[in-house]
Amino acid sequence: MMSVRDETVKRKGYVLRVYDRERTLCEFFRMRLQIGKDTALEVFKQYMAGKKNLQKLYEYADTPRIKRYWNPMWRLPCEQGGKY
C-alpha cells in the first residue's frame, strides 16, 4: 500500500490533517456505510470528471477493505470509454 502523505496545518488553534484528492476519495469509500453509498459514488463520479491521478488512486485503494468494492468501479469508466 502506498504510504500516506499528509500535511498538517493549524487553523484557529486546531491542527488539521490535509490529504490529497485520491486519499480523500478512498476515505469516502472506507466510510461509505456511515456516509452512504450514494454519496461515495457521487464523489467518485466528480473525481473522474475532473483532474485525476489514477495510478495514485489505485495505489491508495489497494487495501482489502476498499478493493473489493472498488474493482466494480474501475470497470465503469472502461466500459464507457473512460467517460461518466
Express each pLDDT in 39-81 by its tens digit: 988 898 899 899 989 888 888 888 777 777 776 666 655 444 4
pTM above 0.85, yes or no: no
Alpha-carbon span 42 to 50, nearest angstrom: 13
Output the pLDDT for position 1.
44
Q: Indicate the pLDDT class of residue 84, thresholds 50, 70 and 90.
A: very low
What is the longest distance spanned by two Cα atoms in the chain? 47
CB atoms within 10 A of CB 20: 15
Alpha helices in 1-84 (DSSP H): 21-30, 32-35, 37-49, 54-60, 64-79
At 73 the pLDDT is: 64
Q: What is the pLDDT of residue 74?
A: 61
